[in-house]
Amino acid sequence: MRFWPLFLVSAAAVGMETALTRYFAVANWSDYGYWVISIVMVGFALSGVVLALGQGRLQRHAAGLFATLPALLCLSAALGYAGVIVNPFNPLALQNPDTYAPQLGLIALYYVALLPFFFLTGLYVSLCFATNATRVGAVYAADLLGAGLGSVLVLGLMYLVSPFALIPYLLPLLALAALGAGRLRKRAGAAALVALLAGEALLGLGPQAAISQYKPIYPPLHTPGAKVLATVHSPRGEYMLLDDFTERVNTDISNNSGMMGYPSPPRSYGLYRDGIRIASLPMPGVGAQTGYALGALDALPYTLRPHPDTLLIGASGGMRIAETRALGAGPLTALEPDPVLYQALREGLDGSPPVPSAPDLRIFNDNPRAVVTPGAGYDVIDISADFLDEAPANVYAVSAQAFAADLAALSYNGVLSVPVSIQDFPAYALRMMATMREALILRGVADPGAHLILYRSAWNARLLASPAPFTAADIAAAAKWCNDRSFDISYYQGFDAVAARSNLYNDLPAVSFTDGTMDTQGDDDSLADEAPGVLAGQVTPSSSAFDLRPVTDDRPAFYAILRLSQLKLLLARLQILPQAEIGALVNLAVLAQAVIIAALVLLVPLAAPRRARQGHEVLRPAVYFSVLALGFLFLELFAIERASLVLDDRAMGFSLVLGAMLVFSGLGSFVSGRIANATAAMRLAWVAVALWGVAMLWLSGTAALAAGGLPLVLRVGLIVLCLAPVSFAMGLPFPLGLRQLRGEFFLPWAWGLNGAFSVVATPFANLLLRTIGLHAVLGGAVLLYTIAALSFPALEGQIAWTPFLKRSAAAD
């Protein structure tokens, strides 16, 4: 209870970090949320450096600082958020070599706006360590438990208010911390109240956050007569249902639809999440207008397998259900994991009617990996075109293991239909083929090429796969169907790409990513040219330029085909890179900055007077606290990815893992203060982490899939139960290490190292996941904790330096 003010400050700080991350996801793009993590940890690192180099001056004035900081935190939080709101950063200009320079200055302004708050927060936390050096376990416990509360609090608020309105709810926590200022409580409370009122007034009356004009929702939202019919607040995202004359059913239609008597897609409502369109919802009376579906790119499977028993993965707000019924689907099972879209299917959503019930229609909101079972006997499994981009966790539905499970759930000659956009890079279709090839191999298929058909329009492609080889009759029917609708076949076994050029409807020339030149011989189909090589596992022009390795459960990022080793080339082609690929470059930029900062923090002892170091060994603490920060974040990222697979929801997975790990780590830190033998306790913590890591390496994938079909409450409980023991163990090493240090220099320096290397950990772990796989992240965490155990500061029995407040009182 002594440290409840620290508890509140930590809760507000993590809440602000989460709220700012959500701000960037809605106002700009989620990838730029990495800056927030960087700014937070840079602030913490700088606070440790300042305190370490201050040689005890700040510690001697700790009572006054504890009374002043809550008011300063309130003001800096409000001013920082206002500064973020008015920043005119343009993400599109950042990708243009001719206009990116001013954007770098605007990014720097984000740091200027937010760094003061997180520096002051770090100063508050490090002062708590400095003035309670004999109780570092309790201090760290209050810090972690408060952070856990902050993550849970913001998660709950996301159900109630807009992401733009989260931060005003956090300022009172900072103001309340002033009541813990001891004999200065009244003065501190009055200052904090004034700061709170000023901050709330600024956020309420000052500049207001809005969706960037560069987000897809902005143009339709600002057309005449546009109306927002519904807004749904959720940790998954901010949903908006838009009624606008430009909104139509989003499907790829044949150029020959009019000649064949098919109508155009009807008007619809547009459902947007975080400003990005994810589905078309039917307008009243429009659900029956489905004649256009006969001319859609995704209709071919229903011609090859008439009246099929169908599994539809992603219902697109109900439009795909109506379309597949119009195409003659027999018994239909539809999966819609997104809770808002599922509600729209079942109950309607503010004007959009629900899907009419039918005896042969079943609708579930389950994870596809939990519903698809071997031997189900579906004739068609159809993945909707917008499903992959509907939610981040849906990427697990297009891994090689997921496709293998889908194939096992088909009848012998059933068809799995998988969409892929080729609008940005046709290479995405080749990566999908490589992934499906791997899935067929996992199913024991010796000749994957005989089981595949690839066809396309100018913008999208569909890959059809079957447990049985496609017959000559199947291929002939597919060729006629495509020819009638001006679609092009790009692959089937025996396909003659050269001969097909004489009757090509949609030109798709090969464009060199290396030099930007177009290699054309008249009408071209670059997919047809490279598909045989991809299926044979050979090097092709695209595989040389892009990473076309199969998507797997261990390496689940589908939009990750850029070769980061070619950084100079990527920067030269920055203007044409898809938005989904930008996150990797942001990670690289943050990592480069983080490495420089971490190196500077490591070198701080060189700037400190020899007397401040008190003869203390520097190398072991430097290694110890650096690898601890890396290891904790590595293991956290691994747990978030696995929880996202279990919950089929990355936002919930992130919040649950973060909250559970912080709470149980806090309990471990609290217990650390009662442990006499710190070295033995550190070794036990390392053993616990190592054993847990080995178990997760072998079991986590299988366990995650097995748990996917359980009720949500049980899945949440299992995740918490799995994280509790390892998180408890991970809460021990940091306070145990701090107990081994002496002097007013080393304790804040260790805190600074923890912050600096936490900045390094997040982008580094994300890049490892992208390029090598999740097993590398988990293995790296175990290796880092092993290094920590070997470098544990060997000063057992020596108590850290005397708290300055007590020393000053004794002197008086």
**pLDDT tens for each residue of 417-444:** 999 999 888 999 999 999 999 999 999 9
Under the banding of pLDDT at 50, 70 and 90, the label for residue 799 is: very low
Amino acid at 191: A
Q: 82: part of which helix (H) or strand (E)?
A: helix 62-86
Gap between the Cα atoms of 19 and 37, Å rounded? 11
Q: Print burial letters for 571-604: b (CB count within 10 Å at least 16), e (below 16).
A: eebeeebebbbbbbbbbbbbbebbbebbeebbeb
Tokens of 672: 């650390």
DSSP 365: -
* Sign of the CA dihedral with 20 first, then 23, 24, and 30 last: positive
What pLDDT score was predicted for residue 608? 63
Nearest partner of 216 among 351, 28, 425, 24, judged by Cα: 28
- Asked whether residue 258 is assigned to any structural domain, the reply reads no
Average pLDDT over residues 322-335: 94
| Claim to verify: residue 438 and residue 327 sit in the same structural domain | yes
Q: What SS3 class is residue 333?
A: strand
Average pLDDT over residues 296-322: 95
Gap between the Cα atoms of 422 and 130, Å rounded? 57
Lowest-confidence pick of 117-121, 600-604, 666-670: 600-604
- The β-bridge partners of 525 are 508
What pLDDT score was predicted for residue 516? 60
What pLDDT score was predicted for residue 812? 34
What pLDDT score was predicted for residue 795? 47
Gap between the Cα atoms of 699 and 708, Å rounded? 14
- Asked whether residue 295 is assigned to any structural domain, the reply reads no
Mark which of 531, 556, 581 sits at the end of a domain.
556
| Claim to verify: residue 642 and residue 539 sit in the same structural domain | no
> Beta-carbon neighbour count of residue 759 at 10 Å?
28
| Claim to verify: residue 315 and residue 184 sit in the same structural domain | no
Residue 198, class by beta-carbon neighbours within 10 Å (0-12 exposed, 13-18 middle, 19+ buried)? middle
- Asked whether residue 299 is assigned to any structural domain, the reply reads no
| Claim to verify: residue 510 and residue 400 sit in the same structural domain | yes
Whether residue 637 contacts residue 769, with contact meaning beta carbons closer than 8 Å, is answered with yes
| Claim to verify: residue 525 and residue 654 sit in the same structural domain | no
Lowest-confidence pick of 164-178, 529-543, 695-709: 695-709
What pLDDT score was predicted for residue 435? 97
- The β-bridge partners of 364 are 335
| Claim to verify: residue 404 and residue 551 sit in the same structural domain | yes
> pLDDT, tens digit, for every residue of 757-783?
988 998 999 999 999 999 999 999 999
Whether residue 742 contacts residue 678, with contact meaning beta carbons closer than 8 Å, is answered with no
Average pLDDT over residues 531-535: 94
Nearest partner of 11 among 116, 153, 134, judged by Cα: 153
- Asked whether residue 352 is assigned to any structural domain, the reply reads yes
Average pLDDT over residues 408-417: 97
| Claim to verify: residue 635 and residue 530 sit in the same structural domain | no
- Asked whether residue 566 is assigned to any structural domain, the reply reads no
Whether residue 379 contacts residue 412, with contact meaning beta carbons closer than 8 Å, is answered with no
Lowest-confidence pick of 213-222, 419-428, 447-456, 564-573: 564-573
> pLDDT, tens digit, for every residue of 373-386?
899 999 999 999 99
Q: Provide the CB-side half-sphere exposure for 493 (13 A, CA).
A: 17
Q: Which residue matches tokens 């045989």? A: 532
* Sign of the CA dihedral with 499 first, then 504, 507, and 513 last: negative
> pLDDT, tens digit, for every residue of 5-60?
999 999 999 999 999 999 988 888 777 777 888 888 889 889 888 888 876 778 78
| Claim to verify: residue 547 and residue 656 sit in the same structural domain | no
What pLDDT score was predicted for residue 241? 96
Residue count (the chain): 812
Average pLDDT over residues 632-655: 89
Tokens of 251: 């499907």
Contacts of 762 (CB under 8 A, 6+ apart): 34, 37, 590, 633, 637
Give me the CATH number covering residue 339.
3.40.50.150
What pLDDT score was predicted for residue 517? 56
Residue 802, by phi and psi: left (phi above 0), alpha (psi -120 to 50) or beta? beta
Look at the chain and report how many structural domains it folds into: 3
Question: How much of the chain, in percent, has pLDDT values that exceed 90?
Answer: 57
- Asked whether residue 728 is assigned to any structural domain, the reply reads yes
What pLDDT score was predicted for residue 602? 86
> pLDDT, tens digit, for every residue of 55-88?
677 878 888 999 999 999 999 999 999 999 999 9
Mark which of 210, 239, 257 sits at the end of a domain.
210
> pLDDT, tens digit, for every residue of 675-698?
888 888 999 999 999 999 999 988
| Claim to verify: residue 533 and residue 636 sit in the same structural domain | no
| Claim to verify: residue 385 and residue 470 sit in the same structural domain | yes
364, 369, 373, 721 from 714: Cα distances, Å = 18, 17, 20, 10
Under the banding of pLDDT at 50, 70 and 90, the label for residue 710 is: confident
Owning domain of residue 413? 306-556
| Claim to verify: residue 494 and residue 637 sit in the same structural domain | no
Average pLDDT over residues 225-251: 92
Contacts of 116 (CB under 8 A, 6+ apart): 43, 76, 79, 80
Contacts of 805 (CB under 8 A, 6+ apart): 59, 62, 63, 131
Q: Which stretches within 28-61 are classed as H helix?
A: 34-53, 57-60
- Asked whether residue 750 is assigned to any structural domain, the reply reads no
DSSP 742: -
Which segments of 583-735 are extended strands (E)?
A: none
Tokens of 508: 């798709």
Q: Per residue, what are the HEC states of 301-326?
A: HHHHCCCCCEEEECCHHHHHHHHHHH
Under the banding of pLDDT at 50, 70 and 90, the label for residue 519 is: low
93, 632, 718, 764, 767 from 777: Cα distances, Å = 33, 11, 22, 9, 9
Is the pLDDT reported for residue 809 higher than 50? no
Gap between the Cα atoms of 781 and 776, Å rounded? 8
Is the pLDDT reported for residue 808 higher than 70? no
Query: How far, rounded to the nearest angstrom, does the alpha carbon of residue 564 sit from its chain's CA centroid?
Result: 19
* Sign of the CA dihedral with 588 first, then 592, 597, and 598 last: positive
Under the banding of pLDDT at 50, 70 and 90, the label for residue 213 is: confident
Under the banding of pLDDT at 50, 70 and 90, the label for residue 407 is: very high
- Asked whether residue 138 is assigned to any structural domain, the reply reads yes
> Beta-carbon neighbour count of residue 426 at 10 Å?
22
> pLDDT, tens digit, for every residue of 575-596?
888 888 888 888 888 888 889 9
Q: Tell me the average pLDDT of the chain.
A: 88
Under the banding of pLDDT at 50, 70 and 90, the label for residue 786 is: very high
What pLDDT score was predicted for residue 427? 92
Whether residue 235 contacts residue 652, with contact meaning beta carbons closer than 8 Å, is answered with yes
| Claim to verify: residue 635 and residue 552 sit in the same structural domain | no
Mark which of 184, 210, 236 sits at the end of a domain.
210
Whether residue 524 contacts residue 509, with contact meaning beta carbons closer than 8 Å, is answered with yes
